[in-house]
């Protein structure tokens, strides 16, 4: 079972802002899961896809090793 990281985008929750800014969050899902149900999601409001992706990869690094993913 391999976990994969994906990025979701959501409108920034700030009513005063007229700028439709987006925030990004990382989610992890099982590669083999046909529904791709999220196993984990970060709780931050990342400013960019890169930041969110880095957050997801950092989380993934901290998970107990999957032997097929080991270096
Ligand atoms: Zn995050």
The average confidence (pLDDT) of the chain is 87
CA of 63 to the centre of ligand 1 (A): 15
CB of 22 within 8 A of CB of 12? yes
Give the residue-averaged pLDDT of 47-55.
96
Rounded percentage of the chain residues whose pLDDT exceeds 70: 77
CA of 50 to the centre of ligand 1 (A): 10
Residue 30 CB neighbour total at 10 angstroms: 15
Residue 42 CB neighbour total at 10 angstroms: 19
CA of 38 to the centre of ligand 1 (A): 14
* pTM score, whole prediction: 0.76
Give the residue-averaged pLDDT of 32-61.
95
CA of 19 to the centre of ligand 1 (A): 22
Contacts of 16 (CB under 8 A, 6+ apart): none
CA of 13 to the centre of ligand 1 (A): 16
The confidence band for 69, taking pLDDT boundaries of 50, 70 and 90, is: low
Give the residue-averaged pLDDT of 31-44.
95
Rounded percentage of the chain residues whose pLDDT exceeds 90: 66
């Amino acid at each position: 079972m391999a976990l994969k990281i994906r990025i979701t985008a959501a409108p920034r929750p700030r009513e005063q802002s007229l700028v439709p800014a987006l925030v990004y969050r990382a989610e992890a899902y099982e590669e083999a899961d046909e529904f791709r149900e999220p196993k984990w999601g970060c709780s931050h409001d990342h400013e960019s896809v890169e930041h969110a992706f880095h957050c997801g990869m950092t989380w993934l690094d901290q998970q107990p090793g999957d032997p097929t993913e080991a270096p």
